[in-house]
A = this chain, B = another copy of it.
Amino acid sequence: MSVIGARVPKLDAPERAGGRIRYVHDIVVPGMLHGAIRRSDRVHARILSIDVSAARALPGVRAVITANDIENRPFGHGRDNTPLKGDRVLCSRDEIAAVAADTEAIAREACRLIRVEYEDLAAVFSPEEALAPGAPVLYSHVPDNQPFHYDYAHGDLEAAVAESDEIVSDTYRLHYVTHCCMGTSGIVADFSAAGALTVHSSTQVPHMYRRDLAAIVGLPPEKVRVVQATIGGGFGSKLDIYPFEPICVWLARRSGRPVRLLFDREEEFVGSPTRQPAIFHMRSGARRDGTFTFRDVRIVLDNGGHTSWGATTPFVMMQTFSSLYRCKAVKVRADVVYTNNPYAGSFRGYGNPQATFALEAQVDALAARLGIDPIDLRLRNVQEPGEVTGQGMRFHSIAHKECLETVRERSSWTMKRGRPGEAHLRRGVGVASLLHVGGGAKMYRTDGCGTTLKLDDFGIVHVTSGSSEIGQGSDTVLAQCAAEAMGVRLEHVRVHRVDTDLGPWDVGVHASRTTFIAGNSVLMAAREAKKKLLGAASAQVRRPVERLDVTDSEIVDLETGQAVSTVGKVVRALHFRERGDVIMTSAYYEPPSQAQDEGYKGDVSATYAFGAQVAEVEVDVETGVVRLVRLTAAHDVGRAINRLGIEGQIEGGIAMGAGYALTEELKVSRGVVENPRFRDYHLVTAPEIPEIDVTFVEQGDREGPFGAKGVGEAPLIPVAAAIAAAVEDATGVRFTSLPLTPERVLAGLRERS
């Protein structure tokens, strides 16, 4: 292997670092107007009137639209959202009107000039309130305010409870955080004279987005072209369509001009999705020897006023409950409950950080009860390769055990555990594990990805895959796969951005699937291209094809070890002749996984990723300040394709997890976001990032490209659980909600003493 496993800077690093890369914010098309949205001033109210006359009269305003001006088709997972709200608002994010104007400033000023009369309605701000008898009903066709339920079970729960020697029970409450993508949301909508729509979008799922957006705005999908702009961070936030996108299309339609609509930072906090807040009521049991017996979980999700992907996070939560450890009987019930709060989307981990926080807290509680070291207890319950879990996941490869052993060793766990010290600065270590899909997730009828590959006259390999680079570095990984499979130098590979007209189908970037799925797709196309290349070379240099290989972009005679041509020369000679040819190949990779059955069972991913992390914290028991000192991580990555890239993903995931655990909170008070700015929303910054120790456990996966598994989401998942465990080790207090701000920690310590 010459490229696989190397440390490769992201191919677009110079562009990103040099400020030369172009986000949707940078796209200008001729005649373009600027859009802005007027949002609700209330969280639950009837709209009595909307007066746009002052907005329309403002010089430079080209179009003002309200629900009356458009075909306001319902959309979204719950069909409970519309681009613009005409009769009622259900949360503070709700869109009431929109303006297209010559400048963004004019558009925003016009939005301010729109007068809306409301009649306030009774509102609910927590699932408990929404579930209380006589609670206000948000949607008349959902009188119990519960649009969705999930019921999962395997094993005989009653019997398993009965055989348990220890049972623990608790409730965990997880809060609102948001993605904080450095690039705010945006779109450019651009109609041709013939009525075909091109959108420049930062969607993570361009091919599905094309279909969905077309339906919302009433176009046949073949008239919609989605060109993916450079994405300034995704993390799941761009997995769904949100109202601003059809709104922008309608503004373009109304004004007869292209329109660009960008969120400012405050709007990004208020108008984009959050991580799904959740309440877990949970019981777990174990036998005296540490064998887990059962888990019984009831999850309550605060769905907010409309439904986006957050409502589907139980799919992932239940995987962790059912299968992170061997467990005979597991029952998971999830209730999704409407409130007048903001609504959640998908967010890196997709419910798993929340579920892992709850599950791992109970594992630690059982360990304490049983008097077994938490790592030992986990090791007693990890699965073996080949094992099939109660939910039907088959672990062809699993290095969970090795991950736990590695972090125990590298964190000095044995030396540090249970030694908080006596001064006001207490130390503690805590551990948590994770399970996540690592080979895609068959949530749709296909989980595949297509690739086309073209060799140009200079030996450059141009890869157009359906997959999406959202800053995670997947284009670099795909370039490595192509370079390795073809034998060309990495700098001779270019990976191109998605354009639904030009590129092949892909489901989109979610479920940590890109390295695995797109990687395999690229491998298929690259191997085919290499075959064609060597066939052409063989004819040109008149040597049998078996005697030739490609190394370092040269055609090498394997017998003599000498270079006999170059890739570029072969390509040129192939088409600069009578009956010439070009080398272009295409491939489609569909993973060998299954959709779940009605009981949520099935081998939904082609492989699964595991990992374990030990957090070491220092807690100032006088101020409540928790400092994350060190995080030791071991991840079952199958095979590291880009070491630098995975390190970056793991470090980034740990930073994001640390923020979730310690500092970040979107403060929602009576449905309103109170801190929509970075000054008040505390992202972890460089000085707060701990010492990080990363180990890749590389046992190779039979199906992964070069043995790799997907690990994009994994490193974030156990961080909060490990930190909470470490804080408990330092202070004796187990916190069941986050973030562990000084206020919450001090309050917890006081409560205990």
Q: Chain A interface (Cβ within 8 Å of chain B)?
A: 14-15, 17-20, 22, 26, 28-30, 192-194, 207, 211, 220-222, 444-446, 448, 450, 452, 454, 456-460, 462, 464, 492, 494, 496, 500-505, 575-582, 584-586, 588, 590, 592
**In the complex, are the beta carbons of A445 and B582 less than 8 A apart?**
no
* Complex Cα spacing A500 to B494, Å: 12
Q: Are B456 and A500 neighbours in the complex by a CB distance under 8 Å?
A: yes
Q: With the chains together, A582 CA to B586 CA distance in Å?
A: 8
Say whether A588 contacts B577, CB under 8 Å. Answer: no
A23 to chain B, nearest CB (A): 9
- Give every chain B residue within 8 A of A576 (Cβ-Cβ): 444-446
- Chain B minimum-CB-distance residue to A578: B590
Docked-complex contact B460 and A222, CB < 8 angstroms: yes
Of the listed residues A26, A28, A222, the one surrounded by the most CB atoms of chain B closer than 10 A to its CB is A222
Known: A20-B193, A207-B457, A502-B464. A582 touches B588 (CB 8 A): yes
Do the beta carbons of B582 and A194 come within 8 Å of each other?
Answer: no
Chain B residue contacts of A502, Cβ below 8 A: 454, 462, 464, 496, 502
Do the beta carbons of B456 and A501 come within 8 Å of each other? yes
Q: List 22 A-B contacts (CB under 8 A).
A: A14-B194, A15-B193, A15-B194, A17-B193, A18-B193, A19-B193, A22-B29, A26-B30, A28-B28, A207-B457, A222-B458, A445-B577, A446-B580, A452-B454, A454-B503, A456-B500, A456-B501, A457-B505, A505-B582, A580-B590, A581-B588, A585-B586
Contact A446 B193 (CB under 8 A): no
Q: If A456-B222, A464-B502 touch, does A192 touch B15 (CB 8 Å cutoff)? A: yes
Copies in the complex: 2
Report yes or no: B459 in contact with A580, Cβ–Cβ below 8 A. Answer: no
CB distance from A100 to the nearest CB of B (A): 17
With A192-B20, A586-B584 known as contacts, the answer to whether A454 contacts B494 (CB < 8 A) is no
**Which residue in B448, B459, B503 is a CB contact (below 8 Å) of A222?**
B459
Q: Is the interface of A mostly helix, strand, loop or mixed?
A: loop
Are B193 and A577 closer than 8 Å at their CB atoms?
Answer: no
**CB-CB under 8 A for A580 and B492, given A14-B193, A505-B457:** no
A304 to B494 CA separation, bound complex (whole angstroms): 42
* The 7 residue pairs across chains A and B that have the minimum distance between CB atoms: A18-B193, A584-B586, A445-B576, A14-B193, A222-B458, A450-B582, A14-B194
A584 to B587 CA separation, bound complex (whole angstroms) = 8
| Residue in B closest to A576 when the chains form the complex, CB atoms | B445
Chain B residues near A501 (CB-CB < 8 A)? 456, 460, 462, 494, 496
Q: Considering the chains assembled together, what is the distance between the CA atoms of A126 and B584 in angstroms?
A: 51
B582 near A504: Cβ-Cβ < 8 Å: yes
Measured between beta carbons, the chain B residues less than 8 angstroms from A458 are 220-222
A576–B211 alpha-carbon span in the complex (Å): 14
Closest residue of B by beta carbon distance from A28: B28
Chain B residue with the shortest CB-CB distance to A222: B458
Q: How far is it, in angstroms, between the C-alpha of A18 and the C-alpha of B30 when the chains are bound?
A: 13
A343 to B459, CA, bound (A): 36
Q: How far is the CB of A389 from chain B (nearest CB, A)?
A: 21
Take A29-B22, A222-B459, A496-B501 as given contacts and tell me if A580 and B575 are in contact as well, using a CB distance cutoff of 8 Å: no
A446–B579 alpha-carbon span in the complex (Å) = 9
Complex formed: what's the CA distance from A456 to B210 in Å?
11
Residues of chain B within 8 A (CB-CB) of A464 are 502
Residue of chain B at shortest CB distance from A595: B578
Taking a contact as CB atoms under 8 Å apart, the answer to whether A192 and B575 are in contact is: no
A444 to B222 alpha-carbon distance, docked (Å): 39
Q: How far is the CB of A186 from chain B (nearest CB, A)?
A: 14
Contact A222 B492 (CB under 8 A): yes
* A454 close to B504 (CB less than 8 A): yes
Partner of A192, one of B14, B457, B492: B14
Chain B residues near A579: list those with CB within 8 A.
590
Smallest CB-CB separation from A582: which chain B residue? Answer: B450
Q: How far is the CB of A191 from chain B (nearest CB, A)?
A: 8
A194 — nearest CB in chain B belongs to which residue? B14
Tell me if A22 and B30 are in contact (CB < 8 A).
yes
CB distance from A513 to the nearest CB of B (A): 15
Residues of chain B within 8 A of A194, CB atoms compared: 14-15
In whole angstroms, what is the CA distance A590 to B578 when docked? 6
Instruction: Return chain B residues, CB-CB under 8 Å to A504.
Output: 454, 582, 584
